[in-house]
Amino acid sequence: MCGIVGYIGNKEAIDVVLNGLRALEYRGYDSSGVAYIESNGSGRVVKQAGRVEHLLPGLDQEKSKIHIAIGHTRWATHGLPNTLNAHPHTNSDGSIMVVHNGIIENYLEIKRELAKNGYKLITQTDTEVIPHLIDYYLKRLGSFEEAITAALNDLKGAYAVAVLATAEPEKIYAAKLSSPLVIGVGRHNEYILASDPNAIMEHTKKVVFLEDYDLAVISKDKLSIKDLRKNTLKSAKAELLDYDRDKSSKGDFPNFMLKEIFEAPQAIKSATLGRVQADKGIVKLGGLETVTTQLKLIDRIVIVACGTSYYAGLVGEYLIEELAGIPVEVQLASEFKYRSEPFSRSSVLLAISQSGETADTIAALKKVKDYGCLRLGIVNAAGSTITRLTDAGVYCHAGPEQAVASTKAFISQVTVLTLLALYLSDGTKGYRNLLKELDLLPDKVQAVLDQAEKIKTIALKYKDSKDFMYIGRGYVYPCALEGALKLKETSYIHAEGYAAGEMKHGPLALIDEDFPTLAIATDSPLLEKTYSNIEEIRARSGRVVALATEGNKKIGKLVNDVIYLPKTLEITQPILSVVAMQLFAYYIAESKELNIDKPRNLAKSVTVE
């Protein structure tokens, strides 16, 4: 999704900004642009529909003289992904240049007011109102800082903005509300601003996370932060980010998705490292130690998340209810925010997110801020907004996930949810079997990965399908939903996930020889029932690929193709099944020669509601 980078210092600002934008490319975008102050003090904007690389020819010969610049990658929300709508946006004379992430909800209202005052806006974007509004206030208030303060106070919705102005050629102004923005403090009189720490790490790990309603005024040797609500200065608290850049390269893999699928065994090991002592039946979650007493008093957990994290949450519901006996509800974060529902102080809101920056999930956490309930997180990205909004939480430690299609994050989320369920249970000692199985799981996942070629051969038989059904029961029902999501987002094939038992209540009407099904028929007490559901599909000429447990003699006769998975407990089955389905979706997408890491229309970090 949209990305912001800014730089002020002694280095070549345009290069720093372009490199930062490249580091954000994984998030997905459709147009890009930069703005900078030239050595003669005038402002310049270079932007276009397309990739960051395409900006290069338009950039100045005098690049070496530029030491202040901002840049943007846009993921269109308002208006087509064309050059006109690309950021930076400016006021009419180009003296105020703005890049913006988020959505200005009252932009039409502001646009109308600006029009009444003679302003002519030319793009379809919401962002364009910002430079014009600053211009409007600048003409009335005189000071740039007062003008930007007044303009920001008029905006409703979510924003992270960086602003350059020829009137203040040695400053970058930056502000945020419900959209992340972080400032890297460089070693030699320099600051790097970005919407995602990935764009900063090359320069420094010392960062200041801006908070909502902060306005930062950044010059080469000074960073000051004002609280827009109180109109007072506050201190800039710098922290050190724990980040390993090496983990974010593709290595020998053709793309990030395949690399990240193959990182599943490591994801399980990292999620359990130092947290489990299988022989003693101990689960320790250091991130929850500060809230142990409160956790003893809870009577309900509401999980909020989106997409793949939501499906991990659904697996979590089965896990926590079975192992800890605590009622769990899982809600789509985008729905939760707008529901009126009873929510007591003894309920916990548990947000699950890979990026920790998903706007819907953040909105859900903010909604319950004053309810007096505990807010927990299961997050992969260290230092992200969700980790800072929650009272306590557990990191996934899966390492950076770059492909838009989430893979290893799901594996680590489900692993952490298993640990959490055990942690919340009365006694983990009774679960030694499960803890031992968690120890064995990385090898079992590796055995699934070792079958990649076989899974590919089966996947290719189905690559021309226009539709796909995924079914499962119990713990693997949410996995069917996740399997379908993986297929649709990577290969653009219409896919639906259903509880196998629901097929007869409607979806069976869809089934014919052109509508295949992937049935998760791994060992469980419900297996016989899943067989019946498969028979019903076969009776309607539907082709079926099954995921089954090694040693299953019956399934081969029932279905067209079988992918065998190692024996495991029913509880740990989701991890093995999902890895197989990730590979299945991957190979179909690969055969279609699609942009696997960046599927069309999607973004990695969904920072708008």
Closer Cβ to ligand M6R, 29 or 515, answer by number: 29
Judged by CB under 6 A, the number of residues near ligand M6R is 16
- Does 361 interact with ligand M6R (rule: CB under 6 A)? yes
Helix spans in 450-514 (H): 452-461, 477-491
**Element (DSSP H or E) covering residue 194:** strand 191-194
Tokens matching residue 549:
């447990």
Residue from 204, 308, 390, 530 in contact with ligand M6R (CB under 6 A): 308
Residue from 32, 90, 123, 355 in contact with ligand M6R (CB under 6 A): 355
Tokens matching residue 362:
């953040």
Contacts for 142 with CB less than 8 Å, ≥ 6 apart: none
Largest CA distance in the chain: 81
Contact string (CB under 6 A) for ligand M6R, positions 441-480, x = contact: ----------------------------------------
- Taking the complex as a whole, how short is the minimal distance between the CB of residue 404 and ligand M6R, in angstroms? 5
Residue from 123, 149, 272, 358 in contact with ligand M6R (CB under 6 A): 358
Active site residue: 2, 306, 373, 479, which one?
Answer: 2
Which stretch, 142-150, 303-311, 317-325, 470-478, contacts ligand M6R (CB under 6 A)?
Answer: 303-311
Closer Cβ to ligand M6R, 107 or 477, answer by number: 477
Q: Of 374, 411, 404, 462, whose CA–CA distance to 574 is shortest?
A: 411
- Taking the complex as a whole, how short is the minimal distance between the CB of residue 406 and ligand M6R, in angstroms? 4
Alpha carbon of residue 358 to chain centroid: 6
Residue 342 DSSP SS3: coil
Q: Are strands 517-521 and 544-549 parallel, antiparallel or unpaired?
A: parallel
Q: Are strands 328-332 and 168-177 parallel, antiparallel or unpaired?
A: unpaired
- Does 405 interact with ligand M6R (rule: CB under 6 A)? yes
2 catalytic per annotation: yes
Active site residue: 259, 408, 486, 604, which one?
Answer: 604
- Taking the complex as a whole, how short is the minimal distance between the CB of residue 165 and ligand M6R, in angstroms? 34
- Does 307 interact with ligand M6R (rule: CB under 6 A)? yes
- Does 385 interact with ligand M6R (rule: CB under 6 A)? no
**What's the rounded Cα separation, in Å, for the pair 546 and 523?**
12
Residues 397, 368: contact at Cβ < 8 Å?
Answer: no
Helix spans in 174-296 (H): 256-262, 264-272, 292-296
- Does 309 interact with ligand M6R (rule: CB under 6 A)? yes
Count Cβ atoms below 10 Å from residue 554 Cβ, excluding itself. Answer: 12
- Taking the complex as a whole, how short is the minimal distance between the CB of residue 367 and ligand M6R, in angstroms? 16
Residue 340 DSSP SS3: coil
Closer Cβ to ligand M6R, 121 or 405, answer by number: 405
Q: Which residue has the tokens 């402002």?
A: 43
- Taking the complex as a whole, how short is the minimal distance between the CB of residue 256 and ligand M6R, in angstroms? 12
- Does 517 interact with ligand M6R (rule: CB under 6 A)? no
**What's the rounded Cα separation, in Å, for the pair 176 and 388?**
15
Binding stretches for ligand M6R (CB under 6 A): 306-309, 353-355, 358, 361, 404-406, 485, 489, 602, 606
Catalogue the active-site residues: 2, 604
